[in-house]
Amino acid sequence: MALNDIVIYSEGAFGYPGDRNFAVASGAAASINAGEPVSKALGATVVAALATSKPVVGTDYMAGIASTISTDTATAAGTVSVTKLVDGDSYLISPKVASTWNTQAKYDALVGARVTFDLTAGTYTINSTDGSGNGLVVEPLDIVKVPGKVRFSISSGVAYTA
């Protein structure tokens, strides 16, 4: 997995939302890197890196964005620190297909689209296909000031809040 695929672009009205520690099941060493989306199934005791083409409202629940590398190994469970999701926060990520977003007019046409993450070769990017059940929302961005990135927010319908 890549490191820092997702970074906070703007914090909500109350500043940095803080972190929360979660358990991670044993698996491969460092199964979650800082800057990756973290999912938590309802009722589960552990978190995992979010799969590709996720999150989907009503199906997938995000605990937040990892702020540390998880400490799990192939034979031992571990922990990961996760930045909490707060309404009003937005994030930056690279697009899956750069040419879809490479002019301000193209970017602006996608503002408000409900999209998902793509996970290819260990790197998270953002898709551009709008779908009513998709859990990410494209937010406005001046692509001259922040080239090669997409600003997005996370729908409250996919936020794990327990």
Higher-confidence position of 17 and 56: 56
Question: What whole-number percentage of the chain has pLDDT above 90?
Answer: 72
Q: Write a three-state SS string for the chain.
A: CCCCCCEEEECCCCCCCCEEEEEECCCCCCCCCCCCEEECCCCCCCEEECCCCCCECCCCCEEEEECCCCCCCCCCCEEEEEECCCCCCEEEECECCHHHCCCHHHHHHHCCCEECEEEECCEEEECCCCCCCECEEECCCCCCCCCCCEEEEECHHHECCC
pLDDT value of residue 148? 96
pLDDT in tens, 139-161: 999 999 999 999 999 999 999 87
pTM: predicted TM-score of the whole model, two decimal places? 0.91
- pLDDT tier at 27 (50, 70, 90 boundaries)? confident
pLDDT in tens, 86-134: 888 999 999 999 999 999 999 999 999 999 999 999 999 999 999 999 9
Q: What is the mean pLDDT of the chain?
A: 91
pLDDT value of residue 3? 72
